[in-house]
Amino acid sequence: QADLFKKLVAHSKEYGFIFQSSEIYDGLAAVYDYGPYGVELKNNIKDYWWAAMVQMHDNIVGLDAAIFMHPKTWKASGHVDAFNDPLVDNKDSKRRFRADQLIEEEIDKIQGKADKEVEKAKKKFGDSFDEALYRTTNPRVLEYTQKAQAINDRLTEAMSKGDMAEMKTIIEDLDITDPDTGSRNWTEVRQFNLMFNTQLGNIAGEEGKLYLRPETAQGIFVNFLNVQKSTRQKIPFGIAQIGKAFRNEIVARQFIFRMREFEQMEMQFFIRPGEEMKWYDYWKQTRMNWHLKIGTPAEKLRFKDHDNLAHYANAAVDIQYEFPFGFKELEGIHSRTNFDLSSHQELSGKKLQYFDPELNENYVPYVVETSVGADRMFLAMMSESLKEESVPDAKGEDSTRVVMKLHPALAPVKVAVLPLLKNREELVKASTDVFNKLKFSFQCQYDEKDAIGRRYRRQDAIGTPYCVTIDFETLENNTVTIRERDSLKQERVHIDRIEEIVRQRVDM
Ligand code: ATP
C-alpha cells in the first residue's frame, strides 16, 4: 500500500496531474499545482458534484462568494477565538501536533546536514558536479539522508495510527526538548491559529486584519437571506458552493490529502428547527450514494461518527474512504443547528430569520451541511483507479501496463484520435478531420508520435476510455477501430457512430 502511494505520487507528476507548487524553488510545503490532466479531472469531479447537488435538486441553488470576508465573520463563526482548529480541540490531538512539529524540525536539521555537504561539494567541483550521483554515493550524505528518512517513516506511521507512545519514544530517542518550555514532556501546547491572515488596504493593525477563509460555509451563511429572497426559495432549501479554503495546517503530510490551500464543495441545507435528524439522515444516505455511483466500491467507504462534536454541531459523521494509508475522512456531514446564523445575527445586528408561511412564524433556520474536499476526492479517485496489470503486447506476450481505470465521466480525455502512421498524409488528414469533429463534443486528444502500442499505453496512463485509430481501411470505407480502455476490446465502427458510442459511457 505504501508502495502504491509512492507510485501514485510519481505518476501524478510524470503524467501532468499534480506538481509541487514552486518546484524550481524546492517547493512550498503542502501546496500543490494541478497540471493539464489534473485540472481536467478535478473539473470533472466538480461538475459531477454540481450536477448532483444543484442541477438535480430544484431546491438547491449555487453561490460563488468571495474568499475575503468581513473580519467579524470569523469572530461569529468561532474561528478567531477558538485559536486552534475548532474541530480538533481534544488534548491528545494538540499534544500530537506539538510533538510532530518538534520531530519534523529535527528531521529538517538532519536533512540540512546532508544538504550542507552537497552544497560544499557543489562549490568545490563546480560545473562537473553530478548532484544526483553524489547524493546516492557519498557515505556521509547517505547516512544523514537515510537517518532523516527513517525518522520520517516512523513519524508518519505513528501519526497515521495516532500512536502517542511511539511519538514519545521518538522524542526520547532523538533527545528533543521543547524549546519553549525546556521540557521533554511536551504537555505544554502552543496555541496556533489555523487561519492565514493578511492586511486590508493600508489599515494597520487589528483593524485591517483580513483572513483567508478556512471554510467556504460562512459565505453561504451571510448570504442566506439574499439568496432566499432573490430566488424565492422556501424552506427546506440548500445553497451550494465550490471554492478555495485555506488552513495553516500543522500536520501537513500525505500529498494532497492535507494541504494549506485546498478546495471544498459544500452545501448548506436550511431547515425547520426540530427536523434536523430527518435531514441529517437523508443527506448521509444521499451523499454516500453519490460516492457509490461514481464507482467507488462499497467496502472502501464507511461512515464514522465524530467522537468529539465541534462547538457548532449536534450531530456529525464522516464518510471515510480507504486511502492507501488507511481509512480517512473524505467528506463531513454536520448538523450545525442554528449556531452560525444566530451568531451572525447577533454580531451584525441584522435579522437572519425566515418567515414560514405554513407555520405562520419566524425562526432562525437550522442547517445540515455536506462538505467534501475536491482535492481529497481527487486523491481518492486516483488511488482507486491507478492499476498495474499484465496484458498481452502486440506479439501476444505478457507485458505490464499502467492504467487509470477512472469512471469515463471523470476521465481528463474522453477520446484519443490516432493515425496509424504519421508519415502518411491521407491518414493524418482523415484523423484531423475526425478530431476536429469530435472536439465539439468531448475533450479529445490527437497523437501521432511513436508506435501505436506506445500511444495506447500513454492514453491508458491518463485514463482515456476510448482510442480511435485511423488506418488504411478508414480511407476506403469510413470505418475506424475503437479501443476500449478496460476490456482492451477493439471494434470496427463507422466514423459517424464514434460520438454515440463514447457518449453512452461518459455521461453520468
Ligand atoms: P480533518 O479532520 O481531516 O482535518 P476536517 O474535519 O477539519 O478534516 P472539515 O472542516 O469538515 O474537515 O472540512 C470538510 C472537508 O474539507 C473534509 O472532509 C476534507 O475533504 C476537506 N479538507 C479539510 N481540510 C483539508 C485540507 N487541509 N486539505 C485538503 N482537504 C481538506
Three cell numbers, residue 351: 435579522
CA 337/CA 416 separation, integer angstroms:
49
Ligand 1 touching residue 374 (CB < 6 A): no
Using CA atoms, how far apart are residues 241 and 53, in angstroms rounded to an integer?
10
Q: Give the length of the chain.
A: 508
Cα of 340 from ligand 1 centre, angstroms: 19
Question: Are 212 and 197 within 8 A, CB to CB?
Answer: yes
The secondary structure of the chain in percent helix, strand, coil, rounded to multiples of 5, reads: 45, 25, 30
Cβ–ligand 1 distance for 259 under 6 Å, the answer yes
Residue 192: band (very low, low, confident or very high) from pLDDT cuts 50, 70, 90 = low
d(CA 273, CA 281): 15
| pTM assigned to the model | 0.82
Note the CATH number of domain 2-81+214-382. Answer: 3.30.930.10
Q: What is the pLDDT of residues 49-74, one digit of tens each?
A: 999 999 999 999 999 999 999 999 99
| Annotated binding residue 260 | yes
CA separation for the pair 508, 499 (Å, rounded)? 15
| DSSP SS3 for 125 | helix
CB distance 162 to 96 below 8 Å: yes
Q: Are 386 and 401 in contact (CB under 8 A)?
A: no
User: Is residue 247 part of an annotated ligand binding site?
Assistant: yes
- Name the residue of 94, 262, 334 whose CB sits within 8 Å of the most ligand 1 atoms, as the mutation to test its pocket: 262
Atom of ligand 1 at shortest range from CA of 373: 20
pLDDT at 90: 45
The C-alpha cell that represents 322 in the structure block: 480507504
* DSSP 8-state secondary structure symbol assigned to residue 128: G
Q: Consult the annotation and say whether 369 binds a ligand.
A: yes
> Cβ(276) to ligand 1 under 6 A?
no
Is 370 part of any known ligand binding site?
Answer: yes
Q: What is the mean pLDDT of residues 224-244?
A: 97
Does residue 249's CB lie within 6 angstroms of at least one atom of ligand 1?
A: yes
Ligand 1 nearest-atom number relative to CA 266: 14
pLDDT in tens, 289-348: 999 999 999 999 999 998 777 777 889 999 999 999 899 999 999 999 999 999 999 999
Contact 216, 266 (CB under 8 A): yes
Mean per-residue pLDDT, 29-47: 97
* First CA to last CA distance, the chain: 30
Domain-wise residue ranges, the chain: 2-81+214-382, 91-173, 413-506
Edge-to-edge strand list for the sheet holding 237-246: 60-63, 237-246, 261-271, 366-373, 326-337, 315-323, 301-305
257 labelled ligand-binding: yes
Q: Is residue 96's pLDDT more than 60? A: no
Residue 259 annotated as lining a ligand binding site = yes
Q: Is the CB of 262 under 6 A from ligand 1?
A: yes
**Arithmetic mean of pLDDT, 165-174:** 84
What's the gap in Å between 375 CA and the centre of ligand 1?
10
In this prediction, residue 179 carries a pLDDT of 63
Q: Is the CB of 332 under 6 A from ligand 1?
A: yes
Q: What does the pLDDT look like over 404-454, one tens digit per residue?
A: 999 999 999 999 999 999 999 999 999 999 999 999 999 999 999 999 999
331 touches ligand 1 (CB under 6 Å): yes
Run of H or E residues at 362 = strand 361-363
Determine whether domain 413-506 maps to CATH 1.10.3720.10.
no
Asked if the ipTM is above 0.95, the reply is yes
With 80 as the cut, is the pLDDT of residue 92 above it?
no
Phi, psi at 399, each rounded to 5°:
-140, 165
Tens digit of each residue's pLDDT (9 = 90 or more) over 347-406 = 999 999 999 999 999 999 999 999 999 999 999 999 999 999 998 877 888 888 999 999
CB distance 339 to 311 below 8 Å: yes
The closest-lying atom of ligand 1 relative to the alpha carbon of residue 252 is 27
If you take atom 29 of ligand 1, which residue's CA is the nearest one?
A: 258
CA-closest residue to ligand 1 atom 3: 329
The rounded Cα 89 to chain-centroid distance in angstroms is 24
389 is in an annotated binding site: no
Q: Is the CB of 245 under 6 A from ligand 1?
A: no
Residue 302: its H or E element? strand 301-305
375 lines ligand 1 (CB under 6 A): yes
Three cell numbers written together for 335:
448538523
Cβ–Cβ under 8 Å, residues 184 and 176? yes
DSSP per position, 480-494: EEEEETTT--EEEEE
